[in-house]
Chain A
Amino acid sequence: MRKSSILAFVLLLLVLDLMVFDRIMILGMKPDATVIVIVYVALRFGCVVGMFLGFLIGVAQVSIMTTASAALPLASTIVGYLAGRFGTKVAFESTIVQAVIIIISVLILDAINFIWLEPEHFLFDLARFSVGSAIYTSIVGVGVASLVSRFLGQGRLV
């Protein structure tokens, strides 16, 4: 039952990412749908699935989008692993904990990307771009997860 919820969740996020997220940018920041997907899948299925999914999503992004950073597979893999490894050891059923996990995941992903792209400015870039984006992503992620859980009536997503 929860697998169908996850599938609906991923599909909904894909649709939102393609059609909605670009329109709800705040100060140039938009929610990172891939991080939300990786984190929730890792929390639900564990770190092995999480890091495989992260790696595949990263490779797909780099392969399809010419502008994507080559560090995305590494960053997404590590995010998937950490979310599955350590996220499941805390009370991840709590909405606040889920939000904190997403925030940390976005910061890790962006930190790896910035170190790879511009190591001399990565702290500045992280503070300038990633903090707001991480908070925004966590709000959207938790919100969409709550909506899916409520409308499917199948209990919590994770």
Chain B
Amino acid sequence: MRSTVVGLPFGEFLILAILVGLSIGIMVFDRYDPDHSPLVFIAAPLEPLRVLARNIFSVRYLEYENSILKARLARLSYENALLREELQRRSLDARLLEFSKQYPESLIFARVMSYLERRDGGGMVINKGSDAHVTTNMVVITPNGLVGIVTKVGLRASQVRLIDEPGYRVSAMIRRKRATGIMRATADGRLLMEWVAPDADVALGDTVVTSGLGLVAPYGIPIGTVVDVEMDPQRFSKLVEVMPFQDPRHLEQVGVILKRPPDFTEMLRQSAK
């Protein structure tokens, strides 16, 4: 039936032979004399298609190249983020290192591991414990100022009570006029300096630092600035509200002053002897 398409006996073979012959001719020309290949004449009217095909291949190559560049960009962005993080960490380390010169041989760095809810005791957990000679009542600081005090110590971690948590008290001083008082935190997280002399010259914006009295916190650690001053008629003293220099709940690294506070009971016992 199909040979009737051609209408000749062995029509299929005849067509096959012709097409094969043409194909072989194309191959021979292409190998030995490509400049005079019949394909050159065939390709001339097909030039628009050739351009189209070239453009399609160009688009495909661009897509391929684009995908590679996107992947490379993603990798570089990731590396850039890592480097920025490392730079920030090193910058923080450098600041802490500079700061530690004020406390030679007594300051260690600790990384903040977590912040606890108030029902869990509150405060922060740092990654240094008794194996790094950390004990309770040690002062925790950053270059920006006071953070809190160590309240519980484990082998490789410690819990720190923050300065804005109720129950925290520290002896403080208005640096400009040397007026002293007791700093404590209210239930809503405000810092109040109590027992300031009624005639003390306290102005808004004054810097408040630790006074060193009580021998728990060393002298001169910054705490914050004065934002409000009022008289406390019950205690006949001034009540000073202080805004801390830093939010103690957004820290990554802190320093622990390894200087143990003195044991007053032991000191009294020895002096009695």
Residues of A participating in the B interface, judged by any CB pair closer than 8 Å: 18, 22, 46-49, 51-52, 55, 58-60, 62-66, 70-71, 73-74, 77-78, 81, 84-85, 116
Interchain CA distance A19-B232 in the complex, whole Å:
80
Residues of B participating in the A interface, judged by any CB pair closer than 8 Å: 2, 5-6, 11-12, 15-16, 19-20, 22-24, 26-27, 30-31, 39, 42-43, 46, 49-50, 53, 56, 60
Measured between beta carbons, the chain A residues less than 8 angstroms from B2 are: 46-48, 84
Q: Name the distance in Å between B54's Cβ and chain A's nearest Cβ.
A: 8
A62 touches B24 (CB 8 A): no
Show 7 residue pairs from A and B whose CB-CB distance is below 8 angstroms, ordered by the A residue: A18-B56, A47-B12, A48-B12, A51-B15, A60-B46, A71-B23, A81-B16
Partner of B27 from A51, A55, A74, A78 at Cβ < 8 Å? A74
Measured between beta carbons, the chain B residues less than 8 angstroms from A74 are: 20, 23-24, 26-27
Partner of A70 from B16, B27, B42, B46 at Cβ < 8 Å? B27
Known contacts: A52-B19, A55-B19, A55-B22. The answer to whether A116 contacts B5 by CB under 8 A is no
- Which DSSP category, helix, strand, loop or mixed, fits chain A's interface? helix
Measured between beta carbons, the chain B residues less than 8 angstroms from A49 are: 5
Known contacts: A22-B60, A52-B19. The answer to whether A64 contacts B43 by CB under 8 A is yes
Partner of B26 from A22, A62, A64, A81 at Cβ < 8 Å? A62
Q: Pick from B6, B24, B27 the residue with the most CB of A within 10 Å.
A: B27
Measured between beta carbons, the chain A residues less than 8 angstroms from B26 are: 59, 62, 70, 73-74
Interchain CA distance A62-B23 in the complex, whole Å:
11
B12 touches A70 (CB 8 A): no
Q: Name the distance in Å between A76's Cβ and chain B's nearest Cβ.
A: 8
A51 touches B19 (CB 8 A): yes
Interchain CA distance A60-B24 in the complex, whole Å:
15
Measured between beta carbons, the chain B residues less than 8 angstroms from A73 are: 19, 22-23, 26-27
Q: Pick from A46, A52, A73 the residue with the most CB of B within 10 Å.
A: A73
Known contacts: A47-B12, A63-B50, A65-B53. The answer to whether A116 contacts B27 by CB under 8 A is yes
A63 touches B31 (CB 8 A): no
Known contacts: A59-B26, A59-B39, A65-B53. The answer to whether A77 contacts B19 by CB under 8 A is yes
B30's nearest neighbour on chain A, judged by CB, is A70
Measured between beta carbons, the chain B residues less than 8 angstroms from A66 are: 50
Measured between beta carbons, the chain B residues less than 8 angstroms from A48 are: 2, 5-6, 11-12, 15
Interchain CA distance A116-B49 in the complex, whole Å:
26
Interchain CA distance A74-B29 in the complex, whole Å:
13
B27's nearest neighbour on chain A, judged by CB, is A70
Interchain CA distance A26-B260 in the complex, whole Å:
68
Q: Pick from A18, A49, A70 the residue with the most CB of B within 10 Å.
A: A70
Q: Name the distance in Å between B67's Cβ and chain A's nearest Cβ.
A: 10
Interchain CA distance A147-B242 in the complex, whole Å:
76
A77 touches B30 (CB 8 A): no
Q: Name the distance in Å between A19's Cβ and chain B's nearest Cβ.
A: 10
Q: Name the distance in Å between A125's Cβ and chain B's nearest Cβ.
A: 18
Measured between beta carbons, the chain A residues less than 8 angstroms from B50 are: 63-66
Interchain CA distance A147-B41 in the complex, whole Å:
39
The 3 nearest A-B residue pairs measured at CB = A74-B23, A70-B30, A63-B43
Partner of B23 from A18, A58, A60, A64 at Cβ < 8 Å? A58
Measured between beta carbons, the chain B residues less than 8 angstroms from A52 are: 15, 19
